[in-house]
């Protein structure tokens, strides 16, 4: 019995020891579990805080909000470049008429919203709370599936030695080393993988995890984007080679992500190892060898630029990054819309067309390029048929549309827009070179407001040596009467007074028309281009007036830059007379959109009213303007382009005879001369842009062959009602103060008869004081 007691007594001690150990183990396990929950909860709370900040508008716009939602404008800054081109040259601009460069202040948009974009520190997060295994990035994983969807239909060649990043000094960085220049020109190793640390650009030593976020915010690209806690949100790839590297590594991956935004991707691919010594490489001027100068001159007419040099330059040449320095730090939204690039051409030079396409493919993030549509407007060159189709078949995103007859630029663009599948339409000319980072800033403006039309800064590719040159900053598109497009710089004193930065977005009264991005649905809501416009000319005016007056905005985006060959003339023919086509188009625009200000158009282009142009049926366009509830042209002049001089009449008020100091007066439909009285309504006249002397609805007119004067119902096209005043100074300065009947075999002037009571016309005499007149107010010569 005692032995049994001793046995149980020893077992009890063992059981007690085991029980104590179990309790202690349980306490440690619960503590570990509590710590784990605390870590997860901390991450959940962080996500909840970010969500609440989004709702208050501090972190940025929620991707699921409407594109019409309010959003802050990104602030940019800085400038740094060395080669400048002071003015545009030539007669053909990027879709507009002849270019000029005048100094005139632009209207500052004082109502620009304060930026609500987050800082890089706010949006860049290193996700470590829940490990994300590589299977999520592999083809069978969820993130790999998302990547596969983004790259579906994308050509995936071996890019090991093909992708390079080009810095401003021309240094090349092979993609296989995955080196990306940071904002200070240093290089940061951004290979991602468990066995490949994130390296410091200066010390070349691995960074601590706490420093990884800082490095990520200063790099120029974001490889992968995801929401908090590892949930897949969106994938942004700098290039396909990076995807291949990721999928080959099966280790744990720390993801540097942005919930909503990333830095603009400054990528530049090439189809072969880039030869730094190639002709025209990096946008350098090219030189025609002495023995080839005759050939160069002979081939000039093929494109109205140096075609010989164009054929020598690589189709994927690099160009200098001419953006202001602050653009490399610009943040754009992750979920930008896709775009269809539409290039229309007729008999374009082969090498120039290819260079245009390659510049888009090489310097655009592929996930935003839905397609490139090349619209062949019935070219006559054989190489633009089967040869072009065969060449472009190598690029799945490029489509060639051959029109069966010549339509002209305007209708060719509409044909491309009709088949486009992207969210945004981006129109480009077929002799351009897109610079690095050109696309995302355009798409981001439309993401913030779908009624914004975004235009790049159009830089110059020399027609003589094919060099790529930047242009002076602070320029905007304007027009002068009678609707001549031009560029006008913002005066330096206005820049200083308003502290305008060279990265500030510029409100643009009129766009050049050849290069711009517009939301596809909005473009069709606006009625696209007026289908009554022929071939080319005036379409940039029409779409500009339409956008501004119907609720949209046109902006020039300094961080988006595209080079363009400006030529002195079009190398192709017009189906009809070119000048007559452009004049008719402009008259059609004036009739629909300019209201009473169309008289200024006809007055400055006076020969147009004499031609009695047939502008066609305007019913559809007038109804469109009513349906869209568009504002008046007066509103446009006052709010968008207030610095243009646009008086409705050339002169007004009293008409005073200098010899008698008396004024023309209307008495019961008769004209007499009486004492001047500024308050007498019967003495008030307008001298219009169409050269009518108008009193209400009646105009001064010659009533019989004897020279008697009277009043006649006004008719803008009746030449017998037209008078010249002050406008003969260049030809007959001695008749400057006379009022001369315009359409008369002899120079016939308005005068007071000898009784000093009646008015008549008589042969002009420079010494007759009774033929000299003065209006009360003058607004234009």
**32 found inside a domain:** no
Which residue, 572, 604, 639, sits at the end of a domain?
Answer: 639
pLDDT tens, position by position, 407-426: 999 999 999 999 999 999 99
Number of H helices, E strands in the chain: 19, 36
**49 found inside a domain:** no
**66 found inside a domain:** no
Whether residue 742 sits in one domain with residue 599 = no
Reply yes or no on whether the pLDDT at 215 is more than 50: no
User: What pLDDT score does 107 carry?
Assistant: 33
**54 found inside a domain:** no
> Is 431 within 8 Å of 356 (Cβ atoms)?
yes
**174 found inside a domain:** yes
Tell me the three state secondary structure of residue 665. Answer: strand
Reply yes or no on whether the pLDDT at 653 is more than 90: yes
DSSP assignment string, 265-291: ---EE-SS---TTSTTTBTPPP---GG
182 against 626, higher pLDDT: 626
CATH number at residue 352: 3.90.550.10
Whether residue 697 sits in one domain with residue 582 = no
Token representation of residue 109 = 């948009």
Whether residue 593 sits in one domain with residue 698 = no
pLDDT tens, position by position, 136-169: 333 333 333 433 344 344 443 333 333 344 433 3
Whether residue 717 sits in one domain with residue 613 = no
Whether residue 573 sits in one domain with residue 542 = yes
User: What pLDDT score does 632 carry?
Assistant: 98
User: What pLDDT score does 28 carry?
Assistant: 63
Tell me the three state secondary structure of residue 391. Answer: helix
Q: How confident is the model at residue 47 (pLDDT cuts 50, 70, 90)?
A: low
CATH number at residue 766: 2.80.10.50
Measured between alpha carbons, how far is 715 from 718 in angstroms, rounded to an integer?
A: 5
Which residue, 204, 226, 259, sits at the end of a domain?
Answer: 259
Whether residue 381 sits in one domain with residue 426 = yes
Whether residue 235 sits in one domain with residue 92 = no
User: What pLDDT score does 141 carry?
Assistant: 38
DSSP 68: T
Spell out the residues 6+ positions from residue 456 whose beta carbon is closer than 8 angstroms to its own. 438, 442, 515, 516, 556, 557, 560, 561, 562
**459 found inside a domain:** yes
Token representation of residue 680 = 């007498």
pLDDT tens, position by position, 276-297: 999 999 999 999 999 999 999 9
Whether residue 573 sits in one domain with residue 435 = yes
User: What pLDDT score does 694 carry?
Assistant: 96
How many domains does the chain fold into? 3
Whether residue 685 sits in one domain with residue 623 = no
**28 found inside a domain:** no
Q: How confident is the model at residue 438 (pLDDT cuts 50, 70, 90)?
A: very high
Q: How confident is the model at residue 23 (pLDDT cuts 50, 70, 90)?
A: low
User: What pLDDT score does 155 carry?
Assistant: 40
Whether residue 448 sits in one domain with residue 360 = yes
Range of the domain at 151: 120-259
Neighbours of 716 (CB within 10 A): 16
Q: How confident is the model at residue 25 (pLDDT cuts 50, 70, 90)?
A: low
Whether residue 707 sits in one domain with residue 623 = no
**72 found inside a domain:** no
Burial label for 176, CB within 10 Å (0-12, 13-18, 19+), is middle
Q: How confident is the model at residue 468 (pLDDT cuts 50, 70, 90)?
A: very high
312 — phi, psi (to 5°)?
A: -85, -25
Whether residue 499 sits in one domain with residue 580 = yes
Reply yes or no on whether the pLDDT at 201 is more than 80: no
Token representation of residue 759 = 């008015």
Which residue, 609, 639, 669, sits at the end of a domain?
Answer: 639
């Amino acid at each position: 019995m005692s032995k049994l007691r001793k046995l149980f007594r020893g077992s009890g001690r063992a059981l007690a020891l085991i029980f104590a150990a179990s309790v202690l183990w349980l306490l440690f396990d619960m503590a570990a579990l509590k710590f784990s929950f605390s870590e997860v909860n901390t991450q959940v709370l962080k996500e909840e805080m970010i969500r609440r900040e989004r709702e208050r508008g501090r972190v940025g716009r929620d991707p699921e909000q409407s594109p019409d939602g309010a959003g802050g404008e990104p602030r940019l800054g800085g400038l740094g470049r060395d080669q400048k081109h002071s003015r545009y040259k030539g007669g053909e601009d990027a879709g507009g008429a002849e270019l000029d460069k005048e100094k005139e202040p632009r209207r500052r948009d004082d109502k620009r919203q304060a930026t609500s974009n987050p800082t890089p520190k706010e949006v860049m997060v290193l996700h470590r709370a829940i490990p994300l295994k590589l299977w999520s990035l592999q083809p069978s994983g969820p993130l790999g599936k998302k990547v596969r969807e983004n790259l579906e239909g994308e050509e995936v060649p071996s890019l090991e030695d093909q992708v390079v990043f080009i810095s401003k000094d021309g240094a090349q960085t092979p993609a296989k080393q995955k080196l990306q220049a940071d904002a200070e020109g240093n290089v940061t190793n951004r290979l991602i993988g468990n066995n490949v640390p994130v390296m410091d650009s200066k010390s070349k030593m691995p960074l601590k995890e706490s420093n990884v976020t800082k490095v990520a915010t200063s790099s120029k690209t974001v490889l992968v984007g995801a929401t908090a806690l590892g949930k897949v949100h969106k994938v942004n790839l700098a290039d396909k080679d990076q995807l291949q590297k990721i999928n080959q590594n099966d280790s744990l991956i720390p993801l540097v992500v942005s919930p909503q935004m990333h830095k603009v991707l400054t990528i530049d691919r090439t189809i072969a190892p880039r030869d730094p010594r190639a002709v025209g490489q990096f946008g350098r001027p090219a030189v025609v060898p002495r023995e080839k100068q005759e050939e160069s001159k002979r081939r000039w007419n093929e494109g109205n630029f140096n075609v010989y040099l164009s054929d020598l330059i690589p189709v994927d040449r690099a160009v200098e990054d001419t953006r202001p320095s602050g653009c490399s730090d610009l943040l754009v939204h992750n979920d930008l819309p896709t775009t269809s690039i539409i290039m229309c051409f007729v008999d374009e030079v082969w090498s120039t067309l290819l260079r245009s396409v390659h510049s888009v493919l090489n310097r655009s993030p592929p996930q935003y390029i839905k397609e490139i549509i090349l619209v062949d407007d019935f070219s006559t060159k054989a190489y633009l048929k089967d040869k072009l189709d065969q060449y472009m078949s190598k690029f799945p995103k490029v489509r060639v549309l051959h029109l069966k007859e010549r339509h002209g630029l305007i209708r060719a663009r509409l044909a491309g827009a009709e088949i486009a599948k992207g969210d945004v339409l981006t129109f480009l000319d077929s002799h351009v070179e897109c610079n690095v980072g050109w696309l995302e800033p355009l798409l981001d403006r439309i993401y913030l407001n779908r009624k914004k039309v975004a235009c790049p800064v159009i830089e110059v590719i020399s027609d003589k040596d094919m060099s790529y040159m930047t242009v002076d900053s602070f320029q905007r598109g304007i027009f002068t009467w009678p609707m001549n497009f031009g560029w006008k710089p913002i005066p330096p004193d206005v820049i200083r007074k308003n502290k305008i930065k060279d990265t500030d977005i510029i409100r643009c009264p009129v766009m050049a028309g050849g290069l711009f991005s517009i939301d596809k649905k909005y473009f069709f809501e606006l009625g696209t281009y007026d289908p009554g416009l022929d071939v080319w000319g005036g379409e940039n005016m029409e779409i500009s007036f339409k956008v501004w007056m119907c609720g949209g905005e046109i902006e020039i985006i300094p961080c988006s830059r595209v080079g363009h060959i400006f030529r002195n003339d079009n190398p192709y023919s017009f189906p009809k007379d070119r000048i007559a086509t452009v004049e008719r188009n402009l008259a059609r625009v004036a009739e629909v959109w300019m209201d009473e200000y169309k008289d200024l158009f006809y007055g400055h282009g006076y020969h147009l009213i004499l031609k009695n142009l047939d502008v066609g049926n305007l019913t559809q366009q007038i109804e469109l303007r009513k349906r869209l509830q568009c504002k008046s042209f007066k509103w446009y002049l006052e709010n968008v382009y207030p610095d243009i001089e646009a008086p409705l009449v050339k002169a007004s008020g009293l008409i005073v005879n200098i010899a008698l100091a008396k004024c023309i007066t209307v008495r019961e439909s008769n004209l007499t001369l009486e004492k001047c009285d500024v308050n007498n309504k019967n003495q008030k006249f307008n001298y219009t842009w169409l050269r009518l002397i108008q009193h209400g609805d009646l105009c001064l007119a010659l009533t019989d062959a004897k020279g008697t004067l009277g009043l006649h119902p006004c008719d803008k096209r009746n030449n017998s009602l037209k008078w010249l005043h002050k406008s003969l100074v260049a030809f007959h300065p001695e008749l400057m103060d006379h009022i001369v009947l315009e359409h008369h075999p002899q120079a016939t002037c308005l005068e007071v008869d000898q009784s000093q009571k009646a008015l008549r016309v008589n042969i002009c005499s420079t010494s007759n004081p009774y033929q000299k007149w003065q209006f009360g107010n003058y607004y234009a010569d």
